[in-house]
Structure 1
């Protein structure tokens, strides 16, 4: 199974290579434009980041579990930004 570092690295590569800003990536994956990423929207992000379909649902759940600070089981822009900052910090060490 892919490690957390590999998964986070793939997400960073996707965002860096395909979007001008993290905000643009968030808006792209926020399919219903409600300002939050649902589990299915996160799974699409993971698919685009080339995360195996076999583990995509589990990883999406873990991302929500780890970054959903308000407990609504969605990732809003603030929570997404925290995740992106953590990814950047991890990859810059």
Structure 2
């Protein structure tokens, strides 16, 4: 199983290589335009980052658990940015 650092690195590579900014990545994966990433939208991001299907669901839950500060089970732009800032540091 991939480690947390490996997974975060894959997400960073995806965003760096395919988007002009983290905000563009967020907007791309926010398929319904509600300014939040749902579990299915996060799974799509992880799939594009080449996180294996076996662990994608677990990682999605852990990302929400770790970064969802308002408890709505969604990731807002500010929560996403906090995760990206942590990855980049």
Do both proteins adopt the same fold according to a TM-score greater than 0.5, normalized to the shorter chain?
Answer: yes
Secondary structure of the structure 2 residue equivalent to 1:17: helix
How many Å separate the matches in 2 of 1:61 and 1:29? 17
Q: Deviating runs (4+, > 2 A) in structure 1?
A: none
The 5-angstrom pairing of residues 12-91 of structure 1 reads 12-89=12-89
Tell me how many residue pairs correspond in the alignment: 89
* C-alpha displacement of 1:27: 0.2
* C-alpha displacement of 1:12: 0.1
TM-score for the superposition, normalised by structure 2:
0.99
TM-score for the superposition, normalised by structure 1:
0.95
* C-alpha displacement of 1:3: 0.1
Secondary structure of the structure 2 residue equivalent to 1:79: helix
Secondary structure of the structure 2 residue equivalent to 1:32: coil
Unaligned runs of 5+ in 1: none
